[in-house]
Amino acid sequence: MTVLQVKDLCKSYPASGGEAVLALDNVSFHVPQGMIFGLLGPNGAGKTTTVKSICGLVKPDSGAITVNGFDALRQRPQALSQVAAVLEGNRNIYWRLTPRENMEFFAAIRGRQPRAIKKEIDDTLELLDLKEKANQPVRKLSRGMQQKLALAVTLTIGAPILLLDEPTLGLDVKASHDVRNMLRWIVQEQQRTVIVTTHDMNVVQDICEHVVIINQGRVVADDSTENLLRLFQVRSYDLMVGQLTATQRQSLERIDYLQLEQVNGSWRISLDMEKPALLWQVLDILRTEHTPIESLDRRELNFEKVFMGILEGMGA
């Protein structure tokens, strides 16, 4: 089931000299229910305009947005009731209120009675490790706790679709992992849909099932994270070996996609390849002088390389 449909979205902004800047150029994608969906793009790509259009903060020039069957342009109140968003970090919380007061306040705005959802608020505070700070002013909380509270507020609102802008930005390692685990729990246990925008490729690879990449106002990739990783899969190896003769070094340097570096008396051979035969070619060169191999490691492809590869392929 599709919970969000973006179709042929266009948006331009006026610029100096009277020429309009095209921010979105026929952007289209859909988000299935019950998954963590990544919406990525470099600065200025059109990602923020897309997000704000979905949230009703920007009116597109043309195109359509459908949220759980509601037309976001013609049925704006109904469409917005389906979405809870955290934009620009933790700015959706009031610093003078406590975590509990924030959750009660924003739930009430959405028509939920705080008394009726007291247990839900208590459970969410405990789940995000905020229970001990529930009655302290938000301004006294750490950045990580404020970020968690922003997420807690979106949960309490009760919307089926969560749109989170950089949910792990500025968090330490533990807090980042806590947020990721929470997002998985939201999808698995509550069957909600989470849309994440982020520059942290580790987050994408760790939790996103599907990714849309926007660049220069256009969708340049729309596929599962697994498929994109497979598309760019290159076998990469690091070999540490003993002394090499001048002839061996010359032979190795003639191999495409190979880097040779001397490290503390040994040599590091870094090889990126699509054909396994290249590794055998390296081993044959080492065998000519019985050069000992001290270690051989395979490097795993990460999503950052995939992301950059897609942008470079588009001439970005």
Domain ranges in the chain are 2-230, 234-300
Per-residue pLDDT, averaged over 63-74, amounts to: 95
Separation of alpha carbons 152 and 128, rounded Å: 8
What Å distances lie between residue 224 and 140, 208, 209, 263, 303, CA to CA? 40, 8, 6, 39, 12
Give the class (CATH, top level) of 234-300: alpha beta
Q: What pLDDT, on the 0 to 100 scale, is given for residue 153?
A: 92
Q: What pLDDT, on the 0 to 100 scale, is given for residue 233?
A: 62
Residue entry with tokens 């007291």: 118
* Digit-coded pLDDT (tens) for 155-185: 899 899 999 988 887 788 888 888 898 899 9
**How big is the chain, counted in residues?**
316
* Digit-coded pLDDT (tens) for 298-308: 776 677 777 77
Residue 199 reports pLDDT greater than 70: yes
* Digit-coded pLDDT (tens) for 95-127: 999 999 999 999 999 889 988 999 999 999 998
Longest CA span, the chain = 80
Residue 15: pLDDT band (50, 70, 90) is confident
3-state DSSP assignment of residue 17: helix
Quick check: 203 and 12 in contact, CB under 8 A? no
Is 2-230 a domain of CATH 3.10.20.600? no
